[in-house]
Structure 1
């Protein structure tokens, strides 16, 4: 009896896996070249507000040390 339950469970798991694969196979994907072009365009449009390119003003940098360390 237990063998039938285990094999039934395996069949159920296999059916779920097949159904998931069918769903994933039917998803429409964007081609890499199109996605890359869109990413480049987005980066070029937002380049002025990118702190990695323009930098952060020292007055607006919350991580800047407030005091300098002085050794005696």
Structure 2
């Protein structure tokens, strides 16, 4: 599969795989619940939901 790949490319691949292996995994249902809770906590400050009358600072 990796025939002809350079040593540096293989080293980068190993480092990437190490990073991915170290990621803490949680169930999708738990992640969804946490995301929903976060969104509900921040909803009162969300300009799209609150409808603040001021214009966008980018324009």
TM-score (norm: length of structure 2): 0.54
CA 56–23 in structure 1, closer or farther in 2 if over 3 Å, else same: closer
TM-fit CA distance, 1:12: 4.5
Give the equivalent residue in structure 2 for 1:62.
55
Equivalent residue, structure 2, for 1:18: 14
Q: Which runs of 5+ in 1 are unaligned?
A: 1-6, 64-72
Superposition RMSD in Å: 2.6
- The Cα offsets for residues 20-49 of structure 1, whole Å up to 9 and x where unpaired, read as 313322322233221211111112122222
Task: Give the alignment's TM-score, normalised by structure 1.
Answer: 0.48
Alpha-carbon distance in 2 for matches of 1:54, 1:12? 51
Aligned pair count reads 52
Query: Which segments of structure 1 move beyond 6 Å, counting only runs of 4 or more?
Result: none
Compare CA radii of gyration and give the structure with the larger one: 1
Going from structure 1 to structure 2, the CA distance change for 1:37 and 1:12 (only over 3 Å counts) comes to same
Runs (5+) with no aligned partner, structure 2: none
